Structure 1
Amino acid sequence: MSFEIHVTGHPRELVETTVPGLAASLIASGITAGDASLWGPAAEAEASHRLGWVQAVSVSRPLVPEIEALRAEFVSRGLTRFVLAGMGGSSLAPEVITQTAGVPLVILDSTSPGQVLAAIDGDAEAGGLEQTVLVVSSKSGSTVETDSAKRAFEAAYRDLGIDPAERIVVVTDPGSPLEQSARADGYRVFTADPTVGGRYSALTAFGLVPAGLAGVDIGELLDEAEATLLEVAIDSPDNPALVLAAAIAGGDPRRDKLGLITDGSYIVGLPDWIEQLVAESTGKDGTGILPVVLLPVSPELESAPADLQIVRFVDSLANFHLFEHHPGEILISGSLGAQFIVWEYATAIAGRMLGIDPFDQPDVESAKTATRGLLDARPEPTPPAFVLDGVEVRASDPALTASGTLAGVLDALWAQLPPDGYVAIQAYVNRLELPQLAGLRELVAADAGRPTTFGWGPRFLHSTGQYQKGGPATGVFLQITERTDVDVEIPGRPFTFGQLIAAQAAGDAAVLADHGRPVVTLTLTDPQLDVVALFEAAQ
């Protein structure tokens, strides 16, 4: 089998009591047949044009030789460095595909000026802009982060006397503004199936074009997925998608936090892709499943919150003694292509179990609207409540900053946590310069005593951002921003990348506060030094 799942304890009980009903409802075969009525009348209009991912393997087959031929052409011209400008589903699937294959692909899914410059300039080992091909991926063709990156690269190419049409490949939906402008500019364009939502697009042109151009054997990836299609399409208690959906979305009370651990699996970064798929698909109408990406030694495994269900990815289920050490967990093994298929089916099935539409994202636009408003108005930054050790402190509620210390502010934020709450860390910084900041998650999880998520901004806005606003109102939010002298103009726009990322952070904080979510914003004025004070406070 290309996908194996084994559950014990509590999730096993859920599977035994829930899967027979799911099989009897014919939901698996219904999804395969494109039945848009499965999620109720309110969701039917959206679902009717969002089920194309079920046919993605067969639809995408003709792309393989076309992508491989284009790669060969680029390599023959000495173009061996590939950069992907995309957000959310346009970047997360190519990232896990290329990381798992060990193939280099630069992912630009940030508006941090330093990251933009690094993506443009390259390095001595991988090559510079002269050896670089840019893939621009956007379904709508109007994503501000992707459009801004495209504009910056175009200007940089022209500065070197290079025609951007020789170096830029576009992936978008047919008829989008991006397709129209790209064809007018002479760019190579791949159009994807418009009936596939971004987070379900791993096996469409959005996942395959950047990965294939970078050098991944995408034909093999489609073979892996195809080998699983029959398993997920049948209405049987053995269907792995039904088993997975029952284990993650069943129960009363339901374990609505999903801890994702890679523990020996050859697949690199899969939990980050699952995080977007599950959080954005289910986090709405006050309900949802919150994925929490964990390490094998994360604090949540010791504290074992009652509302946290662990999913552990391993290379093989042959060693059944593992189950004795991980009672009550969901153990999963499978190829990457199989993982894509099973998780997409299981997420759609979980949406039906939760009574929500798994294909819309009603709260994502609110942060975009707030960002646009701030870029138009350009208000003066809100003065900090206080500055300590180079860190400016702001909060949605003055009571959170009353202590006057960083540790006191964090303690006050944790005190706002309900018994079933979670902490969300949002890092709007240059993650190439501050990769150690991701380690803050472990300290905060231990200090707060609750499941903790970590997201690089603005990347997470296209992922867990939906859950944070539309899901249960149980989160508290720690936002980290930075001051930097580095900035990059965005050609044709009245704002810079520095102004854009600042507006995105401030806009999201404002929307969260409007939703009644407690927010603390810590701004590092000297990031490399101030991060030390932040780690000390979190301990």
Structure 2
Amino acid sequence: MMPGEETKVTITDGELAAKSAPLVDKLIADQVAGKLAAGDPTLWGPAAESEAAIRLSWTALHRSSRPLIGEIEALRAELHREGIDRVVLAGMGGSSLAPEVITRTEGVPLTVLDTTDPGQVADALAGDLNRTVIVVSSKSGGTVETDSHRRIFAKAFADAGIDAASRIVVVTDPGSPLAELAEAEGYRKVFLADPHVGGRYSALTAFGLVPAGLAGADVARLLDQAAGVAEKLAADGAGNPALTLAAAWGAAHADGAEKVVLADTGSGITGFADWAEQLIAESTGKQGTGLLPVAVDSPGAPGFADAGPDATPVAIGPGTDAAPVATAGPLGAQFLLWEFATAIVGRLLEINPFDQPDVEAAKQAARDLLGDPARLEGGAQPSAADGPVEIFAPAGVSTDGTLAEVLRAFLALAPEHGYLSVQAYLDRLDDASAALLRGELARRSGLQTTFGWGPRFLHSTGQYHKGGHQNGIFLQLTGAPETDLEVPGRPYTLGKLQHAQALGDGQVLTQHGRPVLRLHLTDRAAGLAHLMRAVEEVAG
């Protein structure tokens, strides 16, 4: 679906359409779309009202973000006159996912750092610093990963004889610690985002537009695309695609399909499912309910065409026979459509779509480990080792056999219609082959299987893992880094931070009663190859 074509949602499955129709009628009768567009915070009940009251400005961003366009264009021109044309983005979750989709779709270069892997950060540092500006993007102003990147790049600029302050652009909320630091340090430019927009709804705020626009994306066109569908999304009528999409999700969930499998079918958008994953998981996965997004690489991937009764395939682009639901439209319009639909399905699920009550636990666990170096570096000993893979097995999984046998026993712990989450605390560029494990494990286990790069996924699906349906099992992959990077002014390296984040999240998942199998690769390349061979031995 190329930009400029109609934004719409199609339900081709007759049974799902029939079950969705009464929900659409009820949403129309309750005037939900119009109230949402008007910023009514009462839509999700009294318990959510105070949070919703300060989280609804995203519905009007197609208008309110217009002044940013000139500021971004002026800064980009200024930087180019100085020979600065390489943009690095340091941000996590909502601060990185939208800019990455925007720039990949438009084919403009943006180096995204949403990792604590020292190898991946070192590769970004190896670029031409003389041509580099770094956008440090954090809503809270205290994101540990982003602060680490800022410190590392500031030192690298200084070591290269470059005025670091002139190469740092900040995007943050007013009054945040990062805003105060930027003013004190005299950073190149500070963009203050609308504080009444949550991170995962921030695609059309400064968080999405500034890094993408500096990289060369046409952000004015994005706002035009969103504006083109805004009136339709605010209408309380059967032609509103957000009502159709939310009702389809709600009806499927009520019927036991709490997972939505997302595949691109020729939308013209690159990586949209990765952005939608955070939006849906973090907004709905709480209070023991929610929708688990499963992003797959194609309509032919395991888990899409062969989705079981616990999942609904959704095509991003033209509909296919395998997908009962399809959404189409240009990127700016799709951002707004999916945000509306996600907020509305929150009402159907009777949850607050704007909080993330279970995210902090993993962060705190990682901080505790960093504050106890002996515990972090000593830690638990592996249950066993198989070649270059050390095995840290959960209760109930014997490690007497081969790695393939361990995997088989681990997969058997999944409940009926449960899911498998593969979490790779690795370098998503140099260790990219790890992503192949999703399809292979899904094919052999028969489970809906997600894949996330750590700690990136902690800012998205991490909320669902702890707060959503408690039927997941978790495969963590960690690896020994070839080199490590000091974090200036901090008593830890990136490698230690990455390790603490993996162990901390695993600890919290275990406390929730979920099985966690950690495989540590003592040699990453050899370990991934060994693991893939073991997965191939697991019977389908």
The question of a shared fold, defined as TM-score above 0.5 by the shorter chain, is answered with yes
Select 2:49's aligned residue among 40, 44, 53.
44
Residue pairs, 1:10-409, within 5 angstroms: 10-122=15-127, 128-187=128-187, 188-251=189-252, 252-294=254-296, 295-314=298-317, 317=318, 325-326=321-322, 329-378=324-373, 379=375, 380-397=378-395, 399-409=396-406
Letter in 2 for 1:305: G
- Structure 1 residue runs of 4 or more that deviate by more than 6 Å after TM superposition: none
Letter in 2 for 1:308: A
8 Å CA contact 2:390, 2:519 repeated in 1: yes
8 Å CA contact 2:101, 2:269 repeated in 1: yes
| The 10-residue stretch of structure 1 (195-204 or 528-537) with the greater mean CA deviation from structure 2 | 528-537
The CA distance in 1 between the partners of 2:299 and 2:244, in whole Å, is 24
Matched residue of 1:510: which SS? helix
TM-score, length basis structure 1? 0.96
Select 2:534's aligned residue among 511, 514, 537.
537
Cα distance per residue 1:118-162 (max 9 Å; x no partner): 11112xxxxx11110100000000000000000000000000111
Letter in 1 for 2:272: L
The CA distance in 2 between the partners of 1:93 and 1:403, in whole Å, is 45
The CA distance in 1 between the partners of 2:256 and 2:196, in whole Å, is 31
Number of the residue aligned with 1:7:
11
| Change over 3 Å in CA distance of 1:444–1:416 after alignment to 2 | same
Following superposition, the deviation at residue 403 of structure 1 comes to 3.7
Number of the residue aligned with 2:412:
415
8 Å CA contact 2:256, 2:309 repeated in 1: no
The CA distance in 1 between the partners of 2:473 and 2:207, in whole Å, is 33
Letter in 1 for 2:166: E
TM-score, length basis structure 2? 0.96
> Root-mean-square deviation (CA), in Å?
1.1
Cα distance per residue 1:156-198 (max 9 Å; x no partner): 0000111112111000000000000001111110000000000
8 Å CA contact 2:172, 2:179 repeated in 1: yes
Letter in 2 for 1:184: A
Residue pairs, 1:511-522, within 5 angstroms: 511-522=508-519
The CA distance in 1 between the partners of 2:460 and 2:488, in whole Å, is 27
The CA distance in 2 between the partners of 1:174 and 1:389, in whole Å, is 51
Following superposition, the deviation at residue 485 of structure 1 comes to 3.0
The CA distance in 1 between the partners of 2:294 and 2:400, in whole Å, is 30
8 Å CA contact 1:99, 1:268 repeated in 2: yes
Cα distance per residue 1:211-249 (max 9 Å; x no partner): 000001110110000001000001111100000000112
8 Å CA contact 2:307, 2:313 repeated in 1: no
Letter in 1 for 2:439: E
8 Å CA contact 2:17, 2:248 repeated in 1: yes
Following superposition, the deviation at residue 302 of structure 1 comes to 4.9
Matched residue of 2:190: which SS? strand
Number of the residue aligned with 1:125:
none
Following superposition, the deviation at residue 304 of structure 1 comes to 2.6
The CA distance in 2 between the partners of 1:221 and 1:303, in whole Å, is 34
Letter in 2 for 1:284: K
Matched residue of 1:23: which SS? helix
Following superposition, the deviation at residue 106 of structure 1 comes to 0.3
Letter in 1 for 2:90: A
Cα distance per residue 1:238-292 (max 9 Å; x no partner): 1000000001122432411101001112100000000000000000000000000
8 Å CA contact 2:31, 2:236 repeated in 1: yes
The CA distance in 2 between the partners of 1:279 and 1:531, in whole Å, is 28
Following superposition, the deviation at residue 532 of structure 1 comes to 1.1
The CA distance in 1 between the partners of 2:251 and 2:199, in whole Å, is 26
Cα distance per residue 1:459-508 (max 9 Å; x no partner): 00000000000001100000000012310000000000010000000000
The CA distance in 2 between the partners of 1:16 and 1:403, in whole Å, is 54
Following superposition, the deviation at residue 14 of structure 1 comes to 2.7
Select 1:494's aligned residue among 469, 491, 494.
491
Matched residue of 2:328: which SS? strand
* Gap regions ≥5 residues in structure 1: 123-127
Letter in 2 for 1:93: A
Matched residue of 2:312: which SS? strand
| Change over 3 Å in CA distance of 1:302–1:66 after alignment to 2 | closer
The CA distance in 1 between the partners of 2:232 and 2:256, in whole Å, is 26
8 Å CA contact 1:18, 1:250 repeated in 2: yes
The CA distance in 2 between the partners of 1:490 and 1:42, in whole Å, is 40
Matched residue of 2:197: which SS? coil
Residues matched between the structures, number: 525
Letter in 2 for 1:299: P
Following superposition, the deviation at residue 401 of structure 1 comes to 3.2
8 Å CA contact 2:87, 2:214 repeated in 1: yes
Following superposition, the deviation at residue 414 of structure 1 comes to 1.1
Letter in 2 for 1:420: H
Matched residue of 2:125: which SS? helix
8 Å CA contact 1:424, 1:477 repeated in 2: yes
Matched residue of 1:393: which SS? strand
Letter in 2 for 1:407: A
8 Å CA contact 2:134, 2:167 repeated in 1: yes
Matched residue of 1:303: which SS? coil
The CA distance in 1 between the partners of 2:203 and 2:302, in whole Å, is 31
The CA distance in 2 between the partners of 1:513 and 1:178, in whole Å, is 33
Matched residue of 1:349: which SS? helix
| Change over 3 Å in CA distance of 1:506–1:331 after alignment to 2 | same
Following superposition, the deviation at residue 344 of structure 1 comes to 0.3
The CA distance in 1 between the partners of 2:113 and 2:513, in whole Å, is 32
Cα distance per residue 1:327-367 (max 9 Å; x no partner): x6112210000100000000000000000000000000000
The CA distance in 2 between the partners of 1:403 and 1:450, in whole Å, is 25
8 Å CA contact 1:286, 1:471 repeated in 2: yes
Number of the residue aligned with 2:502:
505
Letter in 1 for 2:111: V
Letter in 2 for 1:455: G
8 Å CA contact 1:120, 1:129 repeated in 2: yes
8 Å CA contact 2:213, 2:219 repeated in 1: yes
